[in-house]
Structure 1
């Protein structure tokens, strides 16, 4: 029996800065997962992933991540993706430094 498709977002790492980014519906890369396009169709998800993989000068390591609709936009389901939304973990800078203020 086929598995039910779980909604996804396309995520990758920004090539120049290395931080996590998510693909928006209007083809931008955002550092805020809430701005990501929540994809609920498997065929569309594959098309969007191919679009992301076609930008090797912008992002690396693009993949589909499980997500769910939230009040502010897509939210992570798994720990790994929740962790990536908080930014690098080696020291407080970027998203982590902003949260400390």
Structure 2
């Protein structure tokens, strides 16, 4: 099975983590990201994403390795899972929690 990757970035106007869809949109839902399974497709997607950087839509575009588990896209690296799904600390342990 080929290595699967998606493109991630930060939306420029609010800093949110976003993912590039097959239609070229940037969305917050990691499951909507385009799954890229070849070097050629990755090269094309990165070039298109860099056009969005130049247009001031996003910044810090990066490909990340993912796997599909139970129909959901899951980043392989912990850092990217935190960016996609939130902090690893239980919510009742965060400052300000009741």
For normalisation by structure 2, the TM-score amounts to 0.78
Cα distance, 1:50 vs structure 2: 1.0
1:73 aligned residue: 72
Matched residues in 1 for 2:69 and 2:31: separation?
8
Which has the higher Rg, Structure 1 or Structure 2?
2
1:36 aligned residue: 33
**Per-residue Cα deviation, 1:2-37 (whole angstroms, up to 9, x for no partner):** xx9521001100000101100011111110101101
Corresponding position: 1:45 with 2:42: yes
1:8 to 5, 16, 22: 5
2:19 aligned residue: 22
- What count of residue pairs does the alignment treat as equivalent? 88
> Runs ≥4 in structure 1, deviation > 4 angstroms?
none
Unaligned runs of 5+ in 1: 93-101
Matched residues in 2 for 1:75 and 1:58: separation?
24
For normalisation by structure 1, the TM-score amounts to 0.76
Matched residues in 2 for 1:62 and 1:76: separation?
15
Preserved contact between residue 22 and residue 30 of structure 1 (Cα < 8 Å): yes
